[in-house]
Structures are given as structure tokens and as C-alpha cells.
Amino acid sequence: MYKVLLVDDEKLSRDSIAALIHWDEHGLQLIGAAKNGFEALDWVDKEMPDIVITDIKMPVMNGLELIGKIKEKRSDTVFVVLSGYDEYDYMSEAMRYGIKHYLLKPCNELQIIDILSEIKIEIANVSREREFFTKLNNNFYRVLPHVKEQFLRDIALTGTYNQQDFEEFMAMFHIHAQSFQLVLVQLGESRGYLEKFALKNIAEDLFTAEKLYLSTVVEDSVLLLIQSMAFENLATILNEIRDIYKSYYRLELFMGVSGAGGFKDIRSMYKEVHDVLRYRFYFTEGCMLTSSDVKVTTKVAWQVDFNSSFEAIASSVKAGDVKDVTHRLQSLFDVFEKNRMEINEVKSHCMELYMIVIRQGQQAPSTDKMFQVVKFQELDTLHATFEFLHAVSEEVAISNYHQSSTNQNQMISSVIRIIDEHLSNPELSLTWIGKELLYMNVDYLGRLFSKETGVKFSQYVLERRMEQAIRLIEQAGDLKIYEISKLTGFREDTQYFSKVFKKYTGFTPSEFKRNIDEGVRM
């Protein structure tokens, strides 16, 4: 029901209109009939009418003055002006006020009802329009955060927007900057959405609205589009985010920071921070990384003989020398860290070494043990990779040590280690080991060796040299036969080496190498 206020200084006119209309029947409520503008304003303050019917010519405060004052209080009030035939000047002024509804005195019931019905429709239409735009506005602001997040994901991951699209979105988000940076923040451990949502909220709280433009969750990370700023200022904010988050969740944060750039650079900036954070692998605690912090050493500069390192570790594992295993593994991982080798390359080497290590046990490795090699892909730090590989190597080494205590004494372990370390030495012999290294009776050492290993010393050395030769052919295909002969202790006597090799494998070295090159299974 709409509220109507009647204003007229003529009592007869005022009472006549008030009594003429059956207000309730038309969905209207006459809240009052004022005799002047001042009295009308009191009614407006108390009842807030939807419709005001006012005489245009009144003493003290005319209708136009009253309309102006009411509009200051209620801009949506609709006015009907009552006027006489001789009040054209007032009517002309009313039109400038935007008044659309007029009644000429005297007016009858039908005229009044017609104009009020028209106003009711007008008010209903305005109300519906206002409700529509209010709902539309509310919906827009409700989905705006999701639109911002999706926009940032799209532009960073796919670069699907052109310059015009970008400018339209940035205008919608009230962002006027032209230079940005990206910050990609990863949790130290894989967690659910709640932890990432909390991290996003902390970042939004610590960055002011002028500095953090957009933020979103991307897979296991939080991505921030920020104002380009001095690294010292940015580091202060990011360190505060890290400290607060760690105090709540006890989790480390790894942060990649891009260089500055414009719209066209955002896609490459995301790739930059994503690639930078791959090198969090080398850090056990949270860190902040830029592209200048990551300098990868090329393969040419490594100058590391991984095969020799792997063989030495395998030898220590097989001999059950836990201390030496730890030392050699640590040395290997020091090389990885010093050179900041590409992560996939490091994992590939570790997987290869893992397979070598588990084969050093007294028994063939179980299927479960072999399948555990895929765990390297899940390890996200160099320290975790070392711990896993060290634990496996230590387990096999300890098992071998206990087995060796039963099957052979420590002296034979020393002999085997000496053999492995001196396979390329043509002077390697039981006499040389007994007299020059262990200071033992050669005959006794030979009998002990045969008893504990089940083979004669010469046969054992021959088999180890053949195994070494096979590995060299498989892993270093560019070596010449005479080089392999020399590396396995046969000097450069390729004829004798080839004869022994064929007797051991059924193939000459050349045939064996050719089969390997052609992919024939041996």
C-alpha cells in the first residue's frame, strides 16, 4: 500500500479531495492533509510518503519550494501538482523540476484515480528495476572474487586474453598499474585446500589493496599478482607472511619471485617463478628464490665420473661397510648440491644407484623393493632424497655385514674390497695382496678365501673383471676393446682378453657390443 500526502492551503479543496477518494480500495493510504508547506515537511519526516499531491500556489512556501525540500530528503517521492488555469509560470517551473503529473482545479474523482493509478504503475516499475539492479549488483560483487581468481589463473597458465580483454578486466577490477610482479608460494608439504586458502588470506591481509592486485590457488600453490616493488620491501612482506603462517601451521613456505613486467609478460613471469621453485629441491627450510638465485651447471662442467662413484658405493654396500657407504653417498650428494644439477637429472642418477644398491644384497631384491624406485619422483628435497637412498643403502650394507660375519670373516671382506678397488691393476694377485697389503701367509689366505667364497681367488678376480667389462661395454659404448681390456686389468692384450670374455659370455667383446647396439637381449 502506497502512502499519499495531500497539501493544499484551501481547506475546501483539501477536504474535498480527501473525502472524494476511497483510498483503501485503490491500494493507497492517505497519511495526512497539510495546509501548508511547513506542516507537509513534518508529515514527510514522520511518514515518508510515496506520493505527494500539492497545490502549486500557496503562501509562505509554495509547491515548488516544498517539492525541492522533499527531494532533498526523499529522491524517489512522486509528485502530483494541483494548479489553476492562470498558473502557467508555476507550471513551467515545475516542468524544470521534472514533474510529470498535473491536475487542474477543480478535478473530479475519476481524474484523480486515473493519475494515481498511473503513478502506482510507475512506482512499481521503478521498484522492480531497482530490485533487479540491486540483485544484479549483489550477484556481481558476490562472484567478483571468483572472477578475479579465474582471470589470474587463465592469464598465468594459458595466456588466453589479449590486450583489450586484459584492459577491460583490469578496469572492472579498478587496477590501473602497468608494471607487475608474480609471487608463487608453495607449502613445504602437500596439504588440503584449507591450508592454501589460509595462506591466501594471510597474504591478502599483509599486502595492502594497492600492492596486491589479484590472488588465486593454483594446484599446490598460491599465486599473487602484486605491484612491482623493490626486492627489500617485498622481502619484508613475504618474510612476515612466512613467519605468521609457520606459527599457525608449522609448515615451511617456498616462494618464487619474478622480475617486473607488463601484461604481455605475465605468462612468462609465471613460467619463471614455476621453474625457479623447482630448485626448492636443494633447500630443507623455507626460502625465497629469484631467477638470479638459480644457476644451473651444465653437464660439461660437472666433470664427475658417476659410474666410478656408483661402483665404489656398491662395493662398500656389498662389503657391509656402513661408515664408508655414508661417506661416499654424502660426497656424491655434495656434488649434486654444489653444481645445482637439474632436478630430474639428479633423480635419474639416484634411481640408477638405488637399483645398483639393492642388487648388492646376499639375496635377489624383492619385487616390492624394486618398485620402491618410483618413490624418488615423490621426494621434493635433496635432503629427503639422500635420507631415503642412505636408509636403503645402510639397510643392505648392514644385512651384508651380518651375513659376512657368518659366511666369511672380516679379512676376506678386505680382500674383496681390495679386488674391487684394483680390478684395473694388472699386478692384482693373491701374492701381492698377502705380502704387500695384508702381510699374511699367501697359502693360508688362498685357502681361507676359497673356503669363504667357494671359488679360487683367480677365478673370483676373473669373474669380477668380466662383470666390469660387461658394464663398461653397456655403459660406455664409445670405449675401444683395447681400452676395456686395459681398464679390466688385461693390459692391452686384447687377444687374451677376447678369449677370456668369449669363454665367460659366449660372445667376443665385439659381438657382445654389437648385440647391445642392436638392442639384442643378452
Determine the pLDDT at residue 93: 67
Count of residues for the chain? 522
For residue 520, pLDDT over 70 is answered with no
- pLDDT for 192 beyond 70: yes
Q: Which of 223-232, 473-482, 501-510 is least confident?
A: 473-482
**Separation CA 392–CA 389 (nearest Å):** 5
Q: Is the pLDDT score of 394 beyond 90?
A: yes
Most confident of 69-73, 208-212, 219-223, 257-261: 257-261
pLDDT band of 305, cuts 50, 70, 90:
confident
127-141, 224-238, 372-386: the lowest-pLDDT one: 127-141
Give the pLDDT confidence score for residue 90 in this predicted structure. 60
pLDDT in tens, 459-485: 999 999 999 989 888 887 678 888 888
Rounded mean pLDDT, 354-366: 88
Provide the percentage of residues in the chain whose pLDDT is more than 70. Answer: 92
Grid cell, residue 237, equals: 612482506
Q: What is residue 393's predicted lDDT score, i.e. its pLDDT?
A: 93
Give whole-number Cα distances, 246 to 212, 242, 243, 386, in Å.
21, 6, 5, 25
CB distance 306 to 349 below 8 Å: yes
Q: What is the pLDDT of residues 30-54, one digit of tens each?
A: 999 999 999 999 999 999 999 999 9
The predicted structure's pLDDT at residue 128: 86
Residue 488 to residue 472: CA distance in whole angstroms? 9
**What is the helix, strand, coil percentage profile of the chain, to 5?**
65, 10, 25
What local confidence, expressed as pLDDT, does residue 256 receive? 92
pLDDT of residue 329: 94
Mean pLDDT along residues 220-234: 91
Q: What pTM did the predictor assign?
A: 0.50
Q: What pLDDT was estimated at residue 303?
A: 59
Under a CB-based contact definition with an 8 Å cutoff, are residues 349 and 361 in contact? no
* Better pLDDT: 422 or 90: 422
Is residue 183's pLDDT more than 90?
Answer: yes
pLDDT band at residue 91 under the 50/70/90 scheme: low
Q: Using an 8 Å Cβ cutoff, are 311 and 420 in contact?
A: yes
pLDDT(74) > 90: no
Nearest in space to 337 (alpha carbons), one of 286, 387, 283, 292: 283
Most confident of 91-95, 209-213, 384-388, 489-493: 384-388
The confidence band for 268, taking pLDDT boundaries of 50, 70 and 90, is very high
Cis peptide before 106 (omega within 30 of 0): yes
* Mean of all residue pLDDT scores within the chain: 86
> Max alpha carbon distance in the chain (Å)?
145
Which residues does residue 288 pair with via DSSP β-bridges, in sequence order?
Answer: 255
Provide the CA 431 distance to its chain's centre, in angstroms. Answer: 64
Q: Residue 300's pLDDT is what?
A: 45
The reported pLDDT for the residue numbered 8 is: 92
Mean pLDDT for the stretch of residues 288-313: 74
Position 441 scores a pLDDT of 86
What average pLDDT score do residues 203-230 get?
88
Res 388 pLDDT > 90? yes
Query: 87-91, 95-99, 225-229, 337-341: lowest mean pLDDT where?
Result: 87-91
The answer, yes or no, to whether residue 448 has pLDDT greater than 90, is no
Percent of the chain surpassing pLDDT 90: 32
- Whether 263 has a pLDDT exceeding 60, the answer reads yes
pLDDT at 168 over 60: yes
